[in-house]
């Protein structure tokens, strides 16, 4: 049992050091490992299995809205990147460049894809001629490279996995509708699948995507009170189309510029999943995303019939759930601790006495609630417990977010709240970018979003006292 205790103690308490707790969890649960390439990570099988579940569910939801998958090159010629001034300036500090092909200098250096707007524009210019060719609603699953100065597993790395949707439309109205539609897809996915409550809203001009007319975001609150941007959707208007000459002939045989959108979600949502639901024992995965929903742990497995019964239960439960049997030679206490660290939603314990009584012990990962269930009722009860766990995890996360969302109507109240009550702060803002910059410089807090659901908290800006234009969510963020 000393070994079991040591396994749990390897994870730093989140109250003691949240950053170290996070690092401990991703390493001990074997989600990632560091590499000899600084700032890049290996996503190990346990971590990649979570990403596969996320990817497959998102892909299904995308396709229900008419999205088709494509794949474009990972290299962008410098001349192509330079065509949209704001865009290239926004990504210049993070760009990685290829200058040699083999041992020969390239005639034109190539940027390793930080995002693919310019490549899609180049593609659409050749692919769109008539209104009959529109809309183009494409997405690609790929990796991108951004040369970050400071990195953290899943949250910020120099190469990361994501999806990036890129669409082209005949009208501004269609582009705006698609932009909001995809934001809602993200919000529904995060809340329904990952049990992460979000705030939907619009980014300020200072915080919007480089080259976009408008950026919409879903913002989530982590356990430590910091915000995490968890998905964004951008309306480009016809700015990129004009820079790249993407035109189509309308029904009146007149040339028009297309209107474009872009939207993306990355492996950082795994970081959100960890930081919203995890505890001092490790991961807590939602039943919907968990690669393994039920772990059967045989007790006194060397006794005759125990492993046979565990396998029999696995086969029955596998008809409805994702189930494994831990038949390793570790002792039960170690297996319990390991199952908890990996965040597996339910544990089913079965030993000689259970077999004799015709029952098993089922334990929830999130609450540690133990229930004795007859074998013949096991499948039904597990379904009920998984459904309840999914719902309860969302309600707990929402309660945490709501109890850590504060209102400030004066600068003194704003700064005091920020220092002593980590979380979201709702406050009024004048709309002036210089004021927004001053707030960030003085406090480290940024505008997370201007929520779609506006409130009038006062008539004046919380910082400068000028007439207020918007209610904004502020916060310190990852």
Domain of 252: which CATH number? Answer: 3.30.930.10
Domain assignment of residue 246, yes or no: yes
| pLDDT for res 4 | 41
In whole angstroms, what is the distance from residue 343 CA to residue 141 CA?
26
Per-residue exposure over 397-429, b if at least 16 CB sit within 10 Å of its own CB, e if not? bbebbeebbbbbeebeebbebbeeebbbbbbbb
| pLDDT for res 92 | 83
| pLDDT for res 7 | 46
| pLDDT for res 88 | 72
107/223 same-domain check:
yes
Helix (H) or strand (E) holding 439: helix 433-443
180/249 same-domain check:
yes
Domain assignment of residue 13, yes or no: no
| pLDDT for res 15 | 94
353/268 same-domain check:
no
| pLDDT for res 9 | 54
Q: Which of 353, 385, 417 finishes a domain?
A: 385
| Residues forming a β-bridge with 372 | 361
Residues of the chain falling short of pLDDT 50: 1-8
| pLDDT for res 2 | 37
188/329 same-domain check:
no
Strand 214-221 with 227-237, pairing: antiparallel
Residue 7 has phi, psi (to 5 degrees) of -60, -45
| pLDDT for res 122 | 96
270/336 same-domain check:
no
Q: Which residues contact 281 (CB under 8 A, 6 or more apart)?
A: 8, 11, 337, 340, 341
Q: Residue 81: give the domain boundaries.
A: 34-277
Q: How many domains does the chain have?
A: 3
CATH code for the domain in which residue 436 is found: 3.30.110.30
| pLDDT for res 84 | 74
Torsion region of 88: left, alpha or beta (phi above 0 gives left; psi -120 to 50 gives alpha): alpha
Q: What is the pTM of this model?
A: 0.95
170/117 same-domain check:
yes
Of 173, 164, 118, 172, the C-alpha closest to 137 is 164
């Amino acid at each position: 049992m000393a070994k079991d205790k040591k396994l749990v103690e390897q994870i730093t308490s989140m109250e003691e050091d949240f950053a170290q707790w996070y690092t401990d969890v991703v390493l001990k649960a074997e989600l990632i490992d560091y590499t000899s390439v600084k700032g890049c990570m290996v996503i190990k099988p346990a971590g990649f299995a979570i990403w596969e579940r996320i990817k497959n569910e998102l892909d299904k939801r995308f396709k229900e809205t008419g999205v088709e998958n494509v794949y474009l090159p990972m290299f962008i010629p410098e001349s192509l990147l330079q065509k949209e001034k704001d865009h290239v300036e926004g990504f210049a500090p993070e760009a990685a460049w290829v200058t040699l092909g083999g041992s020969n200098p390239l005639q034109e250096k190539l940027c390793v894809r930080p995002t693919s707007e310019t490549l899609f524009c180049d593609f659409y210019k050749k692919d769109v001629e008539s209104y009959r060719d529109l809309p183009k609603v494409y997405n690609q699953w790929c990796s991108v490279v951004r040369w970050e100065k400071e990195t953290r597993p899943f949250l910020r790395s120099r190469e990361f996995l994501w999806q990036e949707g890129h669409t082209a439309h005949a009208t501004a109205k269609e582009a705006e509708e698609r932009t909001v539609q995809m934001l809602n897809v993200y919000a529904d996915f995060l809340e329904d699948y990952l049990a992460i409550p979000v705030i939907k809203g619009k980014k300020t001009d200072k915080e919007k995507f480089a080259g976009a007319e408008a950026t919409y975001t879903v913002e989530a609150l982590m356990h430590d009170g910091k915000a995490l941007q968890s998905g964004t959707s951008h309306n480009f208007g016809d700015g990129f189309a004009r820079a790249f000459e993407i035109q189509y002939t309308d029904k009146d045989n007149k040339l028009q510029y297309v209107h474009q959108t872009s939207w993306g979600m990355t492996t950082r949502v795994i970081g959100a999943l960890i930081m919203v639901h995890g505890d001092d024992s490790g991961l807590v995965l939602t039943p919907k995303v968990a690669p393994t929903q039920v772990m059967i742990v045989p007790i006194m497995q060397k006794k005759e019939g125990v492993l046979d019964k565990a396998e029999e239960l696995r086969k029955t439960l596998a008809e409805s759930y994702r189930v494994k049997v831990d038949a390793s030679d570790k002792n039960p206490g170690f297996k319990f601790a390991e199952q908890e660290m990996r965040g597996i939603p339910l544990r089913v314990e079965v030993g000689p006495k259970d077999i004799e009584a015709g029952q098993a012990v089922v334990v929830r990962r999130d609450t540690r609630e133990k229930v004795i269930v007859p074998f013949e009722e096991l499948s039904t009860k597990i379904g009920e417990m998984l459904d309840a766990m999914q719902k309860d995890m969302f309600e707990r996360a929402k309660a945490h977010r709501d109890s850590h969302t504060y209102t400030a109507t004066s600068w003194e109240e704003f700064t005091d709240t920020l220092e002593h009550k980590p979380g979201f702060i709702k406050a009024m803002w004048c709309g002036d970018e210089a004021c927004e910059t001053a707030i960030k410089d003085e406090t480290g807090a940024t505008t997370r979003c201007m929520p779609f659901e506006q409130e009038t908290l006062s008539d004046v800006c919380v910082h400068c006292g000028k007439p207020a234009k918007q209610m904004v969510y502020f916060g310190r963020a990852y």
